[in-house]
Amino acid sequence: MEKEEFLQVYRHSMAHILAKAVIELYGKENVQYAIGPQIDDGCYYDFLINGSLGQDDFKTIEEKMREIIKRRETWTRKEVSKAEALEMFKDQKFKTELIVDLPEDEVITVYYTGDDYVDLCRGPHVENSQELMNVAYQVHSVSSAYWRGDEHRDQLQRIYLYVFPNKNELKAHINMIKEALERDHKKLGAALDLFMFDETAPGMPYWLPRGWKMYQALLKYSREIQSLHGYTEIAAPLVNNKKLWLISGHWAHYLNNMFIVPGIGGYAKADVNINDVAETLNDNSSSKNVKIQAGSVIYNREELDTMAAKPMNCPNAMMTYKRTNHSYKELPIRYSEYDVLHRKEKSGQMNGLFRVQEFRQDDDHTFVMRSQIKDEIADIIAIADEIYTTFGVTYRAELSTRPDDYMGDIEVWNEAEASLKEILDEKYGVDGYEINEGDGAFYGPKIDLQIKDALGREWQCGTIQLDFQLPHNFGLTYQNSDGEMEMPVVIHRAIYGSLERFIGIIIENFKGIFPFWLSPYQVALVPIRTEHNEYAKKVEEALLAREIRVEADYSDNNMKEKIKKYKNYKDPYILVLGDREAEETTVSINVRGSNKQIQNVPLDKFLEMCDTLNNTHALELIQSLD
């Protein structure tokens, strides 16, 4: 078998061993067993058991599993009718429910492990438990899980198991998990004073002074790159009238994820024809009694006073383009935007900075002729190459195609998907990217860029979306070279994606030890005694004049306490300033991650070094000035 197939079969088989072990330990009459699929690093199984399982039970379960494997029991597959299956599992309510839900003509299979344990399962599995003798495994956690994800159903105990082909791979995985916990951005974000959350604004981060400085450094870098590629930055309202979202299609396709602000007339119905509603944009009457017909529905104007916080920047960019006439000579027109966005998420889905309800994107909407699509996307990919290289991460591309709830003409979708596929074929080769069927945006297919961090984990950040739908909905045009009006194509683009999520990723990638150019504070000043404060302030002024982020401790605290504080904040360079430094206009440098001090470096030379690190966006610190 291929390694991936091998892992699936062995992990799924180990789930059955886990279930059998729990039943033998706690008694068949006391255990209701539900489902037990394989997952990326092992498997889990859900149980309803009297009493709570904890870490004290993990070794006991592992030992019972080991005992079962050593019995070298045969695994037997059997096909049964629905009636036979119901009789087999008549005392197991979760299995019974699964069987009842199956079609009458379904081929039902069960697997026996030995003679005393049977499970409802499609398989495949090993032929004998002895095949699992050398598999390395470990029970690592137990958590609560509602049956079928329904909070109104039984609350089960989910036992998780790591499963790997050998002990070395298991050990490496456990070390990686431990390392990931140490890199947890929520833990590091608090320790480094970067951001906080409060129950008064669920999923909406408060950016603290240090974190906001890093945030601004990211924005500055993005703006610098975009300015070199001909982007123009705009800003637009954060809250828009419902009419805009009806035209864009968000009201029909994204309403459940939007924060709604009802108008005087409350919520308006959503079953409207977007082309009819588009005509109302030019209706300037202020009377609340004006009747507006949209499809089969007639609204009072006050009903259309409903507002929504924007979850995306797209419609605002369309309106910005629509404000005036355009010629083919102007295209491409690139509108970058960093406005705040709001998307409503379920409370259980929010996770630190990775999943929030308020965020910014390094967003762009570029308006192009069809003949310009290929070159424009090639330029976007070049930007992505440059930015991701700056952070020391690699990436791979995925093509996400038409979803079930797509908007527009299927022939236009086919054309858009073919265009993106041709671009990817040329850039990465036919086998150099993956196709993600059905995961495109509702208005167009997209290229997703998955970056890989220091632990080998992948994160979807960048996206390039080709859109023929919104220009049509908003009636966008430009005058072509023949003097005729033609519809532009829109390319939606982000490289960081959500800045909040990207910051969470880089916190974990760098383990809070950021490159010089990105660090909240780049230099910390430690006057040895208060009489050295005057020179330290001169050094601070020189650093600020170069736009180098600096913090200083002018208190009469012990020098070692000051240094320790800044080391805890992981500042790249700590300058210790005393008599000699003041006399000779030099600095003595404590370099982050080094126990050595570089003494008596001319201040001008240190300033030049900082400029170099900022201008090159270097990943590594300069350790020596020899």
* Token code pair at residue 171: 């050990």
Instruction: Please identify which of the residues 210, 301, 365, 493 carries the catalytic annotation.
Output: 365
Closest Cα partner for 523 from 492, 545, 504, 503? Answer: 545
Strands 108-113 and 75-80: antiparallel
DSSP state of 123: -
Q: Is 375 labeled as catalytic in the residue annotation?
A: no
Contact yes or no for 358/203 (Cβ under 8 A): yes
Amino acid at 626: D
Residues 6+ apart with CB under 8 A from 315: 240, 244, 245, 247, 248, 250, 470, 474
Q: Is 492 labeled as catalytic in the residue annotation?
A: yes
Q: To 5 degrees, how large is the angle CA 279–CA 281–CA 284?
A: 110
Rounded to a whole number of angstroms, the distance between the first and last alpha carbons of the chain is: 57
Q: Is 532 labeled as catalytic in the residue annotation?
A: no
Categorise residue 107: left if φ over 0, alpha if ψ from -120 to 50, beta otherwise. Answer: beta
Amino acid at 129: S
Q: How far apart are CA 68 and CA 72, in angstroms?
A: 8
The SS3 assignment for 312 reads coil
The SS3 assignment for 236 reads coil
Q: Is 553 labeled as catalytic in the residue annotation?
A: no
Instruction: Please identify which of the residues 11, 16, 20, 446 carries the catalytic annotation.
Output: 446
If you write DSSP's letter for every residue of 470-537 in order, what string do you get?
HHHHTT--EE-TTS-EEPPEEEEEESS-BHHHHHHHHHHHHTT---GGGSSSSEEEEESSGGGHHHHH
- What's the chain's length in residues? 626
Instruction: Please identify which of the residues 314, 334, 469, 592 carries the catalytic annotation.
Output: 314
Closest Cα partner for 546 from 606, 607, 588? Answer: 607
Query: Which residues pair with residue 110 across a beta bridge?
Result: 78, 120
* Token code pair at residue 565: 């504080």
Closest Cα partner for 597 from 566, 576, 571, 618? Answer: 576
Instruction: Please identify which of the residues 95, 360, 492, 532 carries the catalytic annotation.
Output: 492
Residues 6+ apart with CB under 8 A from 47: 19, 22, 31, 32, 33, 34, 156, 157, 158, 159
Three-class HEC string of 267-311: CCCCCCCHHHHHHHHHCCCCCCCCEEEECCEEEEHHHHHCEEECC
Strands 206-207 and 446-452: unpaired
The four Cα atoms 601, 602, 604, 610 give a dihedral, to 10 degrees, of: 0
Instruction: Please identify which of the residues 16, 185, 310, 343 carries the catalytic annotation.
Output: 343
Q: Is 310 labeled as catalytic in the residue annotation?
A: no
Instruction: Please identify which of the residues 138, 361, 372, 465 carries the catalytic annotation.
Output: 361
Q: Is 95 labeled as catalytic in the residue annotation?
A: no
Amino acid at 564: K
Amino acid at 143: S
Q: How far apart are CA 197 and CA 182, in angstroms?
A: 20
Whole-angstrom Cα Rg for the chain: 30
Handedness of CA 616, 618, 621, 626 (dihedral sign): negative
Q: Helical H runs in 429-475?
A: 469-473
The SS3 assignment for 457 reads coil
Query: Which residues pair with residue 478 across a beta bridge?
Result: 486
Q: How far apart are CA 146 and CA 34, in angstroms?
A: 11
Closest Cα partner for 18 from 170, 140, 167, 102? Answer: 140
Q: Is 446 labeled as catalytic in the residue annotation?
A: yes
Catalytic positions: 314, 343, 361, 363, 365, 446, 492
